[in-house]
Amino acid sequence: MSRRDLSALDRDIAQPLGRILQEAFAHGIDCELIFGGLLAGGTEQGLYEISTTQNYVLGTRRVTPDGRSYRYSKSAGACYTGQLAGITQDKAIAAVSAAAIAEGASEITFATQTFAADALKGGFIVIFGNPDSAPNNANCPLRGILSNDVCDASTLTITMDAALELDIETAQYCEVYYNPWGALSTAGGSNAMSFAGVANAYVSAASKYFWCQTWGPCWIAPQVASFASGAHRDCYCRHDGSIQDLGNSDVYDTNKQRIGFIIQANLTAGPLVMLQISP
């Protein structure tokens, strides 16, 4: 058996994850990769399968060998395979914390807030202000949310994904955001809506679980006048999850969320869109 250069091993370990995946696929690993795994009691859910039972943590990432990426999502209404699904939820909490938090703590409490157990799991919390007398915005910790308890009459406790590296003063202003993959819908869009991706199979109603494509080649309904010349490449969302070019002049061109670019030269070939929302 030949010896391996340890310095080469160190270099391999330090490679970015994307490079490691690229090399793995190039050497014959042709399976899909799922980052997160099944929930306890969950069953494997196919890429084109719709389920009424949650099988993975919302936001779980799935990558196919050809480079397409998906996120495990829950519907808040119908989601179409030919139009982008929007994020329907606003922030969950905008309030001051109920008590001071010592450096090293990973829990934060809020008064008069009521949520079901783990309703905020997979979301995010930002602690604003000037908690340690640094310049404004110098210390605004952002943390993922691992869990939350069921509220009693007075207190909600959120468990964060990492401890705080500083003391937080009493009554510090915070914003808490839902898991962005927890309430997607194509219906009822507006210019103010952000779009998460494209459902991989037709979702007929709310409270269904599915894989939402966020990266790679896909088809999205175009406004033909926008791309007919073949000169415009970038794709931007309209209010209904269809796409147009940036220069279109109708009343629905104000969203301005770029979601990718057209792959082919013109509409006669599809068009296929290189979706570029979340790799």
> pLDDT digits over 62-76, tens only?
999 999 999 999 999
Domain region containing 240: 15-88+181-279
More confident residue, 184 or 166: 184
- Among the three residues 143, 177, 211, which one is the final residue of a domain in this structure? 177
CA 194 – CA 256 distance, rounded (Å): 10
Indicate whether 228 and 260 sit together in one domain: yes
For 74-87, give the DSSP string: EBSS-B-SSSPEEE
Indicate whether 108 and 168 sit together in one domain: yes
Indicate whether 21 and 44 sit together in one domain: yes
> Does residue 4 lie within any of the structural domains?
no
Average pLDDT, the chain: 85
More confident residue, 118 or 267: 118
Examine the pLDDT at 56 and tell me if it is beyond 50.
yes
Average pLDDT estimate for 93-113: 91
> Does residue 276 lie within any of the structural domains?
yes
Indicate whether 187 and 224 sit together in one domain: yes
Indicate whether 137 and 255 sit together in one domain: no
Indicate whether 78 and 194 sit together in one domain: yes
For 188: left if phi > 0, alpha if psi spans -120 to 50, otherwise beta; the answer is left
Residue 44 banded pLDDT, cuts 50, 70, 90: very high
CA 197 – CA 75 distance, rounded (Å): 12
Indicate whether 76 and 185 sit together in one domain: yes
**Amino acid letter, residue 223:** Q
Give φ, ψ of 19 to 5 degrees: -70, -40
Range in 29-33, 44-48, 156-160, 239-243 with the lowest mean pLDDT: 29-33
> Does residue 215 lie within any of the structural domains?
yes
- Per-residue confidence (pLDDT) for residue 124, from 0 to 100: 97
> Looking at the 3D structure of the chain, how many domains does it have?
2
24-30, long-range: CB < 8 A, 24+ apart: 25/65, 29/65, 30/65
